[in-house]
Amino acid sequence: MPVGTYGAVKAMSPDELNALGVTMILANTYHLFLRPGHELIGELGGLHGFMGWDHGILTDSGGFQIFSLNEYARISDDGVDFASHLDGERFHFRPEDAVAVQQSLGSDVMMVLDHLIPSTSDREATRDAVRRTLDWAARCHTAWTDRSADLWGIVQGGLFTELREMCAKELVQMDFPGYAIGGLAVGESTEDLYRMTGVSADVLPEDRPRYLMGVGLPENLVECVARGVDLFDCVVPTRNARNGLLFTRRGKFVIKQARHRSDPRPPDPDCDCYLCRNFSRAYLRHLYMTGEILASRLATIHNIHFFMTLMCDIREAIETDTFDGFRNEFHRAYSGDCPVNC
């Protein structure tokens, strides 16, 4: 599971990520394009050199942030016009630019530029966005001349089964080395998320990675793996950590709760991360309540360890053909809505 970043995995050093077994991170092309700029990063050895990161780097195309951070982004068949959310500078960004920028960044896995629309869009608007997404995917594929890095296609289609299927089929025709499922985890119901993930993954070839973008919570990972997904990215582990929420196999652990005030136990007694091996609930709560950076760091280490271990256990269950049992046992133990009461 890549851990997202635009210049650093928040609160973490490369050494710590290595120690946690992280082998791929996600970098946000839009943010790095604006600041410090992909040319500069290219001159400084790409993101691997710039960040001091020796392992895999997956980059998004920039499209998601262009659409989500720019109220007035203007789409044409040629590309997208947007203004920097930092200083208002205007840019015209074409599918070919997305590939070129990601190449400058030194990405290992690049993404095609896609046209993201709200999941509440009607069939007509969604069909139009799928058509443009496919057109852009083809142009990105053509621009993808340096094959030392991967370029993956992205399935769009909103909440419409036949548009998702059509989009996935056309992408597979173009023959990408991997495929992402996009346009989900943007406000739709969990039921719709699971349904559209399944519909999309069913069309994608089993011998290519299937990557669900922007997902998710632990229960989402288990359920979406069940529907065929191999790879995820999300802010959930790191952002929640900084906001004082730890994940455990028994559910969520809210650091600031008063009942942890004098509790000498580790946050998660079943966990062997640096936090849980060395510090008490009382100490972590004290760090959090006093705004210490170390609270964010320890909680981030714990949550990344949790997600890495969860994905590792899922892989092992699949390899030993025990995934159904793992899935049932996971849901039995994990109470997603309630804080841990132990």
d(CA 39, CA 183): 29
Verify binding: residue 118, a copy of itself, rule CB under 8 A: no
Question: Please, what is the angle between helix 95-105 and helix 123-143, to 10°?
Answer: 50
CB of 131 to a copy of itself, least distance (A): 36
60 included as an active-site residue: yes
Identity of the residue, 220 or 296, whose beta carbon is nearer to a copy of itself in the bound complex: 296
Task: Considering only the C-alpha atoms of the chain, give the largest distance between any 2 of them, rounded to a whole number of Å.
Answer: 61
Instruction: Spot the catalytic one: 60, 97, 114, 230.
Output: 60
Rg of the chain's alpha carbons, rounded to an integer? 20
Verify binding: residue 36, a copy of itself, rule CB under 8 A: yes
Residues 6+ apart with CB under 8 A from 143: 95, 96, 99, 100
Number of residues that bind a copy of itself (CB under 8 A): 37
CB of 97 to a copy of itself, least distance (A): 21
CB of 301 to a copy of itself, least distance (A): 9
Verify binding: residue 172, a copy of itself, rule CB under 8 A: no
Q: Which stretch binds a copy of itself (CB under 8 A): 13-21, 142-150, 204-212, 307-315?
A: 13-21
CB of 260 to a copy of itself, least distance (A): 11
Q: Which stretch binds a copy of itself (CB under 8 A): 10-18, 115-123, 157-165, 322-330?
A: 10-18
Positions 275 through 314 that interact with a copy of itself (CB under 8 A): 278-280, 282-283, 285-287, 289-290, 292-294, 296-298
CB 54 within 8 A of CB 34: no
CB 115 within 8 A of CB 39: no
CB of 187 to a copy of itself, least distance (A): 27
How much helix, strand and coil, in percent to the nearest 5, is found in the chain?
A: 45, 15, 35
d(CA 31, CA 36): 8
Q: What is the DSSP letter of 259?
A: G
CB of 36 to a copy of itself, least distance (A): 5
CB count within 10 Å of CB 261 equals: 12
Instruction: Spot the catalytic one: 97, 108, 114, 233.
Output: 233
268 included as an active-site residue: no
Verify binding: residue 100, a copy of itself, rule CB under 8 A: no
Reduced to 3 states (helix: H, G, I; strand: E, B; else coil), residue 146 is coil
Q: What are the φ/ψ torsions at residue 182 (nearest 5 degrees)? A: -115, 180
Q: Which of 2, 4, 6, 102 is close enough to bind a copy of itself by CB under 8 A? A: 6
Cα distances from 62 to residues 94, 98, 116, 119, 307, in angstroms, run 11, 7, 11, 19, 25
Catalytic residues: 60, 233
Contact residues for a copy of itself, defined by CB under 8 A: 6-8, 10-15, 35-36, 40, 43-44, 50-52, 261-262, 264, 274, 278-280, 282-283, 285-287, 289-290, 292-294, 296-298
